[in-house]
Copies of this chain bind each other. A is one copy, B any other.
Amino acid sequence: MTQAPYELYYWPTIQGRGEFVRLALEDAGAPYRDVARKHGPRSGMAAMTKLMGGDAPGLEPFAPPFLKVGELVIAQTANILLYLAPRLGLVPDDEASRLAAHQLQLTVADLVGEVHDTHHPISGSLYYEDQKPEAARRAAAFTGERLPRFLAYFERVLARGGGQGLVGGAHTYVDLSVFQVLAGLDYAFPRAMARVEAGIPGLRALGKRVAARPRVASYLASERRLPFNEEGIFRHYPELDG
């Protein structure tokens, strides 16, 4: 039995940050094992925490997701994509394009962190229910200011590059990630998204093109695509979508 070259370690019940890696692997048709899910949640989690505890060779990850490729363990979502994208044909060859793609991916990561903090503004160790007043205030600032600002930024970048992709004319992993961000925001903040809708025609067209890519469409229709839920990063709490 041959082993898949890529082993993804991530929480087995949520899309979360792991989904940005899954989308790149799926779009490229790359064989991979989603370790914590393939093992079943229990032993999969054990395999993941073993690598996190510093028992394995190589650099210990601070947090999931991480990717194991042979003896190499790579953590931090954007760093995993930086490694994978040239191998999967998801970024142009030139340095300027790669830096641009990574810069945009890190801005996606900042946005995702802010989405997380709308429901966990005090601590990731507390339940949402233990930080609801603070979450309401932070979410109002996010949907009122930050969400429109991030999306207007990506819309401008897309328009300046000609509208086909965020990194010039090429299809890249950043397009997949921005598709995922739109899907997550639509799920979590439908009312806030309705307010910005008129300002993001380019992003909407891009999102549709990504969803229609054959391997992406097939993935989204499969059981491998977990549904959004209230354990993930993009959560739908109507009271936070003012």
A residues near B, CB below 8 A? 54, 59-62, 72, 74-76, 78-79, 82-83, 96, 99-100, 102-104, 106-107, 110, 113, 117, 121-123, 125-126, 131, 134, 137-138, 141, 145, 150, 153, 156-157, 160
By the criterion CB–CB under 8 Å, are B103 and A121 in contact? no
Interface of A is mostly: helix
**B residues near A83, Cβ cutoff 8 Å:** 99
- How far is B156's CA from A160's CA once the two chains are assembled, in angstroms? 45
Q: A142 CA to B150 CA in the complex, in Å? A: 26
- In the complex, 19 of the A-B residue pairs with CB atoms within 8 angstroms, ordered by the A residue number, are A60-B160, A61-B103, A62-B110, A62-B153, A74-B103, A76-B102, A76-B106, A76-B107, A79-B103, A79-B106, A82-B82, A82-B102, A117-B117, A121-B122, A122-B134, A122-B141, A123-B137, A123-B138, A134-B138
Compute how far the CA of A100 lies from the CA of B57 in the bound complex, rounded to whole angstroms: 13
CB-based nearest B residue for A133: B134
Minimum-distance CB pairs A-B, first 6: A123-B141, A76-B106, A59-B100, A62-B107, A76-B103, A134-B134
Q: Which residues of B contact A62 (CB under 8 A)?
A: 107, 110, 150, 153
Q: Across the interface, which residues of B come within 8 angstroms of A153, CB to CB?
A: 60, 62
Q: Inside 8 A of A123's CB, which chain B residues have their CB?
A: 137-138, 141, 145
Q: When the two chains form the complex, which single residue of B102, B121, B157, B160 contacts A134, counting CB atoms closer than 8 Å?
A: B121
A65 to chain B, nearest CB (A): 12
For the complex formed, measure the closest distance between the CB of A206 and the CB atoms of chain B, giving whole angstroms: 16
Chain B residues within an 8 Å CB radius of A157: 59-60
A137 to chain B, nearest CB (A): 5
Complex Cα distance, B76 from A79, in Å, reads: 13
Distance in angstroms between the alpha carbons of A126 and B113 in the assembled complex: 19
